[in-house]
Homo-oligomer: A and B are copies of this chain.
């Protein structure tokens, strides 16, 4: 075991240890099991050989946000690979409660650890568009700004959730090509095309139920988003802010009043 992670709080009896395959987004096979490490899949102790992926956030389970059901807003949050040692090691020990079994993926994918290591960014996107954004009803349109890992995962999730038109705004051609692979129906190049005009065209003036800001450039894209909301017919649009950024968003409240729209922040 190359490194041990022991935050000294409450986890000791629940330690599990397994070889890491990738960065802070990681997955692996369990090679050693603490005496009280319970597998959420089986409700029984973990067994060696179980493939798992691991939450990157180490939540305490004892502060008010944790007790209220918001562990990702833990007051004493540690992050594996950021505030504490990460998974670039032969072995890593983590609390069992952070582990989620990949057993069900066996036989469906060639490399479940590769898939498992994608759970973390996919979960960020899932939390953004499904939990925080409230999801969509099948047949509604969505617009995603930025085809980075989160935006791409969001495209896949929202197409799976039944998005009619999934529109991606992305100037980079390689990323745009990836977006198409992940299910985007239309690509807007915001450096060459008028964003609002294209949203109107692709949605038959209806607009989108959900706009995901995944560019990190809120000072640039906020006007595009709110003008699209304003000029299209849909009410009840949700704007989800998932990318981190220092810049402010110049929000025009009236657009959100008249179009019954809202803005939500999505933590990882």
A232-268 vs B: 1/0 string, CB under 8 Å? 0101100001111110111111111111111111110
Q: In the complex, which of the residues B43, B242, B250, B256 contacts A63, with contact meaning CB atoms closer than 8 Å?
A: B43
Interface of A is mostly: loop
B245 and A248 contact, CB distance less than 8 A: no
Residues of chain A at the chain B interface (Cβ within 8 Å)? 8-11, 13-14, 36, 38, 40-41, 43, 60-71, 73, 75-76, 96-97, 104, 130, 132, 135, 137-139, 157, 160-162, 204, 213, 218, 233, 235-236, 241-246, 248-267
B267 and A265 contact, CB distance less than 8 A: no
Chain B residue with the shortest CB-CB distance to A69: B69
A253 and B265 contact, CB distance less than 8 A: yes
B265 and A62 contact, CB distance less than 8 A: no
A84 CB, nearest partner CB in chain B, Å? 17
- Complex CA–CA separation, A173 to B71 (angstroms): 43
